[in-house]
Amino acid sequence: MGWDNDEKSLKTFLFSKINRKITFLLLITGLITPALTILYFYELALSVIPESIPLEQSVLLQTAAVIIIVLIGVNVGFFGFLFSRSISKPIKQLYAVTKEVEKGNFNVKTDVKTGDEIEELAVAFNNTTAALARIDNERREIDSAKTEFLSITSHELRSPMTPMKAQLQMLEQEYFGKLNDKQKHSLGIVIRNADRLDKIIVDFLEISRIEAARLKFSFKQIDLVKTAEETVEFMKGFANEKEIKLELKTDKIPVIDVDPDRVSQVLRNLINNAIKFSKNKSKIEIDVNIKEDHIQFSVKDYGCGMTSEDQIRVFEPFYQVEDHSRRVHGGTGLGLAICRGIVESQKGKIWVESKLGKGSTFSFTVPLKPIMEIEPIKVLFSPRSVIEGKLKEEFKKVLGPLGLGEFNELKSKNALWKEDLFKYVATLTNLFILSDEQGQLFKNKIGMIFGDEKDIINEKTVTPMLTLLRW
Amino acid sequence: MKTILVVDDEEDIRESVKLILETRGYKVEMAVNGDDCLKKLTSVNPDLILLDIMMPGKPVDEVVRHIKNVKIAFMSVVRISEARKRGLCTQENIVDFIQKPFDVGDLVGRVELILGE
């Protein structure tokens, strides 16, 4: 094992770019002087010594010259290599540690004791990561304090509901005496709204758990086709109440590592919404398709559809579609926000396509690659909404009065992601709506909004430096 | 007449459950937490214990360990996952899990089912 490591590290050292550069440079420098000197003395010797030198002596001289050059070469090469290693080693250490920071691991320190500017750089680096780690810790503490607070509050909020609901029902069931019609009606209103309040609190609890990624996911090897079939079966009961047909169509889906309960939860919510907004005796189509790197679920209804404003805002917490029959629907407005939280914490996407009066199709994706770690997703105070706000402003600035319309169009197609936006900007420059320069500026701004400051800084300053170093 | 022991730290819940069950013809005894429940069991012999799982004092799994031959139904405000339920229902005499807030009708139905009426 040790032998392998040595071989590998020797290989890496030999082929390391810095080592090659410096060693080569030193080799050339180190060899020029002796080579020239030897050449000079060789010519001198030839011109002084009589013409006819026995062949052996001449060959001996030449061999001696070659050997001397080779020895010098080996010497310089060896020491040059050691020298370049003393520079490249600390740089490699810094590089390795920087890679860790890139991954988000701030608790790293580098130990460089070269007694020069590189050591100073390493010290500065350590200080920076220490500062970053502090900020990151603070953020985590605030996050968990917020979640703890939400959890406790929600629990406390739910507890009074038990005696409240029990007593209200007893009143309604005339435990305490007969009720007249007006009293019964009034009681009905109170009970309905108490139930509504309870449901909202439950959803709120769910959201707080999603936000802290303490949403319990349990991953197993699952055949999602079966999950879809079971979910549709389960929802058939509700669909039958309105005589709505549920049609399920599935591709052949490979077994993947996924949490089936969560997928089922999202699917149930989407089908429930579809049933709510469909007319009696209509149908709802549920499709499960395999795409390049993900599985796509879609729920298509032929109901009343949504306005474009609805489509943009429907995943927002507490947003409910304006509908004269809204009171009947009795939702909390949090279902889709929770679905988005679940889908996005599994690194999927969720979106809607809809035509007012014709119907809507809600779709979400589950990536094929297993999710190693569930990230906390902000559902309520989401960095997504901050990013979207900034993007909106940028669109208005760059595209003027058309900017808002374009932004909303992209949002409704769920195209507010970096790659999609870059493609969009490329289209704008291809159509000469923006000049190349304007397009690049726009892309930079978009990149910055998605947190790419470092790439832009590099572009501005590294290029001139590289030109200097090119030799 | 069957006897039910209701154990919950909230008085309003105790009162409500007592009224509901007495109206159905059961005798109802009450306790305010785990220790009180075990104390009451020395003098009362209930057919069923309705036990809230989140109470101050002795944790509920310790309480349950001392109760072997009376049927127990847990009650909880917090939503409990199936896995957690399996972890709690460690004894044979734990027969049901009632989610709070409950429907009056649902509570009565479950109690009657447990007591085999």
Task: Note whether A11 and A4 are within 8 A (CB).
Answer: no
Query: Which 3 state secondary structure label does DSSP give B49?
Result: strand
Pick the residue from chain B with its C-alpha nearest to A199: B101
Task: For tokens 């590998």, name the residue.
Answer: A8
- Which residues have CB under 8 Å from A349's CB, separation 6+? A343, A364, A365, A414
Token pair 């779709």 in the structure block, residue: A363
For residue A147, the number of C-alpha atoms closer than 13 Å in the C-beta half-sphere is 20
**Residue scoring higher pLDDT (B53 or A115):** B53
Q: What is the mean pLDDT of residues A336-350?
A: 86
Q: Tell me, what's the pLDDT at A37?
A: 83
> CB-based burial of residue A1 (10 Å sphere; 0-12 exposed, 13-18 middle, 19+ buried)?
exposed
User: What confidence score (pLDDT) does residue A2 get?
Assistant: 42
Domains of chain B: 3-114 (3.40.50.2300)
What residues have CB less than 8 Å from A175, skipping those under 6 apart? B19, B23
Residue in B23, B78, B102 nearest the CB of A155 = B78
Contacts of B104 in chain A (CB under 8 A): 166, 169-170, 173
Cβ-based neighbours of A201, under 8 Å, separated by 6 or more? A154, A157, A158, A161
The number of angstroms, rounded, from the C-alpha of A434 to the middle of its chain's C-alpha atoms is 29
Contact A285, A300 (CB under 8 A): yes
Maximum mean pLDDT: which of A140-149, A262-271, A452-461: A262-271
Q: Which of B15, B101, B104 lies at the smallest CB-CB distance from A173?
A: B104
Q: Enumerate the residues of chain B whose CB falls inside 8 A of the CB of residue A166.
A: 13, 16-17, 20, 101-102, 104
| Residue A86 phi, psi (nearest 5) | -65, -25
pLDDT for A12 equals 60
Interface check A29 vs B, CB under 8 A: no
Specify the pLDDT at position A357.
86
- Band the pLDDT of B27: cuts 50, 70, 90: very high
Residue A321 confidence (pLDDT): 74
Give me the percent of chain A exceeding a pLDDT of 70. 81
ipTM confidence score: 0.88
> Is A163's CB within 8 Å of B12's CB?
yes
Give pLDDT, residue A1: 41
Closest approach of chain A CAs to the CA of B95, in angstroms? 21
Render pLDDT for A205-242 as a digit per residue (tens, 0 to 9).
777 666 655 555 666 778 889 889 988 988 888 888 88
Q: What is the mean pLDDT of residues A265-288?
A: 90
In the predicted model, what is the mean pLDDT of chain B? 89
Chain B CB within 8 Å of residue A164 CB: yes
Closest CA relative to residue A262, chosen from A208, A320, A338, A331: A338
Q: What is the least distance, in Å, from the CA of A100 to any CA of chain B?
A: 36
Nearest CA to A298 out of A360, A375, A387 is that of A360
A170 touches chain B (CB under 8 A): yes
A·B CB contacts under 8 A:
51
Read off the pLDDT of residues A428-437 as tens digits, 9 standing for 90 and up: 888 888 888 8
Q: Please calculate the CA angle B87-B89-B91 and round it to the nearest 5 degrees.
A: 120
Tokens (6 digits) for A291: 């795409």
**Tell me, what's the pLDDT at B99?**
87
pLDDT at B66 over 50: yes
Tokens (6 digits) for A422: 């870059």
Beta-bridged to residue B76, according to DSSP, are B99
Arithmetic mean of pLDDT, A187-193: 92
Percent of chain A with pLDDT over 90: 14
Q: What is the pLDDT of residues A389-420, one digit of tens each?
A: 888 888 888 888 888 888 888 887 778 887 88
Any long-range contacts for A165-173 (C-beta under 8 Å, 24+ apart)? A165/A191, A165/A194, A165/A195, A165/A198, A165/B101, A165/B102, A165/B103, A166/B13, A166/B16, A166/B17, A166/B20, A166/B101, A166/B102, A166/B104, A167/B16, A168/A194, A169/B103, A169/B104, A169/B105, A170/B16, A170/B19, A170/B20, A170/B104, A173/B104
The residue in chain A having the minimum alpha-carbon distance to the alpha carbon of residue B76 is A159
pTM for the model: 0.50
Give the residue from chain B lying closest to A203, CA to CA: B79
Distances (CA, A) of B72 to B34, B40, B97: 13, 15, 9
Higher-pLDDT residue of A258, A103: A258
Residue A34: its H or E element: helix A17-48
pLDDT value, residue A102 = 75
Q: What pLDDT is recorded for position B3?
A: 95
Q: In one letter, which amino acid is A93? A: Q
Closest residue in A to B17 (Cα) is: A166
pLDDT at A129 over 70: yes
Give residue-wise pLDDT tens across range A358-374: 899 999 999 887 665 55
When pLDDT is averaged across residues A365-385 and rounded to a whole number, the result is 66
End-to-end Cα distance, chain B = 11
Average pLDDT, chain A: 79
- For chain B, the helix, strand and coil percentages under 3-state DSSP, each to the nearest 5: 40, 25, 40
Q: What is the pLDDT of residues A309-341, one digit of tens each?
A: 788 788 887 777 765 554 455 567 778 888 888
Measured between CA atoms, how close is B103 to chain A, in angstroms?
7
- Compute CA A12 distance to the chain's CA centroid, rounded to the nearest angstrom: 32
- Cβ contacts of residue B56 below 8 Å, gap of 6+? B9, B33
Chain B contact for A162, CB < 8 A? yes
B50: left (phi over 0), alpha (psi -120 to 50) or beta: beta
Residue A296 sits at φ, ψ, to 5 deg, of -115, 125
Quote the CA–CA distance of A19 and A77 in Å, as a whole number.
11
The confidence score (pLDDT) of residue A288 equals 93
What amino acid occupies position B60?
Answer: V
Q: Tell me the C-alpha distance between B30 and B45, whole Å.
A: 12
When pLDDT is averaged across residues A118-144 and rounded to a whole number, the result is 85
**pLDDT, tens only, A10-66:** 556 555 777 777 878 888 888 888 788 888 887 887 777 766 667 777 788 778 878
Backbone angles phi, psi at A51, to 5 degrees: -50, -50
Q: Is A397 on the interface with B (CB under 8 A)?
A: no
Could you tell me if A338 and A379 are in contact, meaning their C-beta atoms sit under 8 angstroms apart?
Answer: yes
Structure confidence by residue, pLDDT tens digits, B9-24: 999 999 999 999 999 9
Indicate if the pLDDT at residue B26 is higher than 90.
yes
Distance from CA of A166 to the nearest CA of B (A): 6
CA A211 – CA A192 distance, rounded (Å):
29
Q: Six-digit token pair at A151?
A: 């959890």
- Tally of CB atoms within 10 A around A317: 20
